[in-house]
Amino acid sequence: MQEVKIQEIVQEAVEIAQKLGASQSEAFCTESRELSVEIRDQEIDTLKISEDTGLGVRILINDRMGFAFTSDLSSRAVKEAIRTAVNNAKKVSPDSNNFLPAPPDGGYKDYQIYDENIEKTPLRQKVEFAQEVERCSRAFDRRVSITESCAYQDASYKVALANSLGIGAFYKGAFCGSYAQVVAQQDGESQSGFGMQFKRNFRGLDPDALGREAAQKAIRMLGAKDISTQRAAVIFDPYIATNFLGIITPALSAESVQKGKSLLGGKLGQEVASPLVNIIDDGTLKEGLLTAPFDGEGVASQKTVLVAGGTLKSYLHNTYTAAKDGVLSTGNGIRNSFKGTPEVGTTNIYIEPGEVSRERLISEVEKGLYITQVMGMHTANPISGDFSVGVSGLWIEKGEFEQPVRGVTIAGNMIDLLRAIDGVANDLTFFVGQGAPTLRVSSMTISG
Amino acid sequence: MLDNKDFDEVLDTALSNGGDFGEIFLERKKVTGISCEANRIERISSGLDVGAGVRVISGGNTYYAYTNDLSLEGLRRVAQKVASAGKKLKGEVIYDMRRPEVRGEQYVEMRPDKVQIDNKVDIVWRANNRARSVDQRIKQVAVGYGDVIQKVFIRNSEGLYVEDERVRTRLVVNSVAVDGGVIQTGYEAAGGFCGFELFAEDFPEELAEKAARRAVSMLYAKNAPTGKMPVVVASEAGGTMVHEACGHGLEADLVQKKLSVYAGKRGEKVASELVTVIDDATLRGKYGSLRYDDEGTPGQKTVLIKDGVLQDYMFDYLRAMNEGRASTGNGRRESYQDRPIPRMTNTYISPGKHDPDTIVKETHRGLLVKKMGGGQVNTTNGDFVFEVAEGYLIENGKVGSLVKGATLTGNGPRVLSIIDMVGNDLGYAIGTCGKDGQGVAVSDAQPTIRIPELVVGGVL
């Protein structure tokens, strides 16, 4: 399928929708290609190649918004989807805040998110990349003996959007990455370790660093023991800190706030975290995996400071929630795919790095747990902010790693956790669209 | 429309460079979703998703490609991609038409595509209104309705030919209760391998009321205790624990990769003799039921653990082929975009002999779990965790105060081997199980059971 094709499809869809009685209409079409190669014991375990296209249409009739999608792009199926969206619109509750954005005054910026080398690099080279990751993990320590998964992945995608207010926009992007989960064994015990990298260009990937990271994480957990219940300092490595950031992000959505489901509701201008904490959402971030010229409804991407010096500065908005609050959309109308409507979501969201090194944060701890793995993160409650998760990591005694620890839980509330942060390291690391540096909390309950 | 001759031509193309096995999986899925929040029907979404995946297995390695382009040309193109990646091996297509006999059946009384959208919207309103009427402190209610009609067509190089239709319907209610600065939620979900008849009588109201009542009572729950203690899991709590503690570890892909603590233990005692674990796709109307799995193998009942002894694992075609045996009908995929992998269907611990009330009475001090939330397992070492959505202290054999914030951590084989009481009841819960980025509909169940020692994590 050609670039012009999906741009034509969205324009035609909008024309048809207007003829069928829409007061406003929008069509969103994507075309993507993906590749993933999974390696085990230097052989291709699974190779997967995909091409995926689809269209989503939003129809507004008298303040009522209906939606339908189709992955069949024949003109018959497209018409059927539009008719269904029109019918759905008639059954939805009306809301005067439902409307579509107009084209932005300054147009859209180009963020150079498409590296043609990702598609052009021969498959053989990508397979070799994944093999190299596995080799490097095994070479790190001979106790690394099982590959749970070791993969190279890439994707290139095209996005076309049109609406009846005159938006007609298009962009293409690509990314590539790799991840490895390996198992180290010793005396009948097995421990796994994980590493991942995702970049906007193929040259940015480092198989050696990735393989070693996964291996090192597995090895250092060997011999993990239980500990007794106590209060102690807790350090979250960037991956775990990013997981915890994930609990708080729904609370930053204006939609959650407006529905009374956010623990940050009504707290604009108030202190919600330690003064060391700054949280940013940036859809324009250079080389960000979720950087794009515009969001899922055609609003230009921007950088939004959400928390500065511990004070809540802004919520995330799409066009609907912005209208309801009488503010401007922050460009956070996010579509996970053509199958969904643009909901308030994040672009590249991260906790800003601090000044001190990770080593420094650890060396200052008298007694505490450096957390490297967490289980049951999805059970945290984003509405109340309560979490209780299984963790494992390394026990710190007098500023040094003493002993791997597993089978313990930590519990608390996100707000208390954010307020208790007393150290932010300078090692911001991104995991696709979310990132955080190493964080330290002075004291938490650790149950064993 | 394409016919069998076309599909065989595509299979031929896929195997043109060799391969042990070739398969086409074609899918046409219609979905409807309705969501209500803030007393408004916010969204009605309908969708059509069509696509096909072509798979070649060659020397134990899998090559998979998919497309939405269902023209003969589109399918040929993906078949060529798969073929060019494959190695030179034998590869042949058997042109007969073999349709295996099913063991389970799907019973659909009211097809969701024949139900007017107004009636579906009405279900959502009924649940919303009931949840809100339960208590003044219910400040927000979100209701989600969903139905799926999935038509699949599976043809493989061994002559298998299966057409199947799966109908699933579900309703979820999430209510938020607020009192002062305290905010708590209550969640209930129900669904079946069935049609719109799921919503007979007061079903939506009952579900909504349960969710709302839990949110309100959780406002006044005390923090859960911490440390090791006896835990009684009531049958109504659902089967998250069996799913995490042993289900995943009994999936043959993890076993063959030696990523499961249950690897190489067939015939060995892995649990208390009170424990029998079964995966059964043939149960009528349960959320994880199926007639055929996503490779065309009929769903079946598989005894995984009998009286504490490990009997068998759950297999898909590839994993079965590796061992020269038959699949157990557990080869499932989320959609044409995914290759099949071994997955659970309806998994449960069989009922035992104890009276559920007696189990609580005979527990001096501990935690009673009445509702489980989500869970996760590290199959490599067997450590698992699950969330307690509704838990009570047990004091002197009596059910005491409601507690919040409890998470239970344990080790699968260790927990299964110390279970010392198994009730004569059985309770189901539904869920979407995630593995390798694929979500599939499952249900889990268990009787009331007692675990003499489990780590309870709360706030100190």
High-pLDDT (> 70) share of chain A, %: 99
Instruction: Tell me the average pLDDT across B316-341.
Output: 95
Task: Please determine, for residue A269, whether its predicted confidence score (pLDDT) is greater than 60.
Answer: yes
Give residue B214's pLDDT: 94
Task: Please determine, for residue A43, whether its predicted confidence score (pLDDT) is greater than 70.
Answer: yes
Closest CA to B458 of B393, B375, B362, B381: B393
Q: Return the residue of B nearest to A36 by Cα.
A: B64
Domain annotation for chain A: domains and CATH numbers: 3-218 (3.30.2290.10), 224-448 (no CATH)
- Token pair recorded at residue A28: 């969103």
Alpha helices by DSSP H, B66-176: 72-85, 117-133
Terminal alpha carbon distance of chain B: 65
Give residue B223's pLDDT: 85
Task: Please determine, for residue B58, whether its predicted confidence score (pLDDT) is greater than 90.
Answer: no
Inter-chain touch A45–B380, beta carbons under 8 Å: no
Sign of CA pseudo-dihedral B256, B257, B258, B260: negative
Beta strands in A187-226 (DSSP E): 189-199
Residues A173-214: tens digit of each pLDDT: 999 999 999 999 999 888 999 999 999 999 889 999 999 999
Q: Return the residue of A nearest to B225 by Cα.
A: A447
Residue B286: HSE in the Cβ half-sphere, 13 Å Cα cutoff: 25
Looking at the complex, report in whole angstroms how far the Cα of residue B104 sits from the nearest Cα belonging to chain A: 31
Residues A226-244: tens digit of each pLDDT: 898 899 999 999 999 999 9
B385 contacts chain A (CB < 8 A): yes
Looking at the complex, report in whole angstroms how far the Cα of residue A104 sits from the nearest Cα belonging to chain B: 26
- Token pair recorded at residue A299: 């609003």
pLDDT band for position B374 (cuts 50, 70, 90): confident
Q: What is the CATH number of domain B112-151+165-220?
A: 3.30.2290.10
Inter-chain touch B409–A390, beta carbons under 8 Å: yes
Give residue B373's pLDDT: 80
- Token pair recorded at residue B356: 């559920």
Residue type, B337: Q
Sign of CA pseudo-dihedral B106, B110, B114, B118: negative
Say which range, A7-21, B56-70, B161-175, has the weakest mean pLDDT. Answer: B56-70
Sign of CA pseudo-dihedral B257, B260, B266, B268: positive
Looking at the complex, report in whole angstroms how far the Cα of residue A55 sits from the nearest Cα belonging to chain B: 10
High-pLDDT (> 90) share of chain B, %: 69
pLDDT band for position B387 (cuts 50, 70, 90): confident
Report residue A160: phi and psi, to 5°.
-125, 140
Inter-chain touch A409–B117, beta carbons under 8 Å: no
Inter-chain touch B61–A123, beta carbons under 8 Å: no
Q: Return the residue of B nearest to A387 by Cα.
A: B405
- Token pair recorded at residue A330: 């922050």
Give residue A178's pLDDT: 97
Across the interface, of B44, B117, B407, the residue whose CB is closest to A376 is B407
Give residue B89's pLDDT: 47
Inter-chain touch B140–A53, beta carbons under 8 Å: no
Task: Please determine, for residue B91, whether its predicted confidence score (pLDDT) is greater than 70.
Answer: no
Residues of A in contact with B411 (CB under 8 A): 407
B42 contacts chain A (CB < 8 A): yes
| Higher-confidence position of B329 and A263 | B329
Inter-chain touch A51–B178, beta carbons under 8 Å: no
Task: Please determine, for residue B402, whether its predicted confidence score (pLDDT) is greater than 80.
Answer: yes
Inter-chain touch B44–A92, beta carbons under 8 Å: yes
Task: Please determine, for residue A266, whether its predicted confidence score (pLDDT) is greater than 70.
Answer: yes
Give the Å distances, CA to CA, from B94 to B3, B26, B54, B56: 16, 19, 16, 14
ipTM of the complex: 0.84
Q: For chain B, what are the domain ranges?
A: 112-151+165-220, 227-457
Looking at the complex, report in whole angstroms how far the Cα of residue B101 sits from the nearest Cα belonging to chain A: 30
Q: Return the residue of B nearest to A227 by Cα.
A: B227
The residue of B117, B376, B415 whose CB has the most chain A CBs within 10 angstroms, and thus the best one to mutate to test that interface, is B376
Q: Give chain B's mean pLDDT.
A: 91
Give residue B460's pLDDT: 44
B183 contacts chain A (CB < 8 A): yes
Give residue A411's pLDDT: 86
Closest CA to A113 of A320, A270, A283: A283
Inter-chain touch A407–B376, beta carbons under 8 Å: no
Across the interface, of A49, A77, A389, the residue whose CB is closest to B65 is A49
pLDDT band for position B389 (cuts 50, 70, 90): confident
Inter-chain touch A50–B337, beta carbons under 8 Å: yes
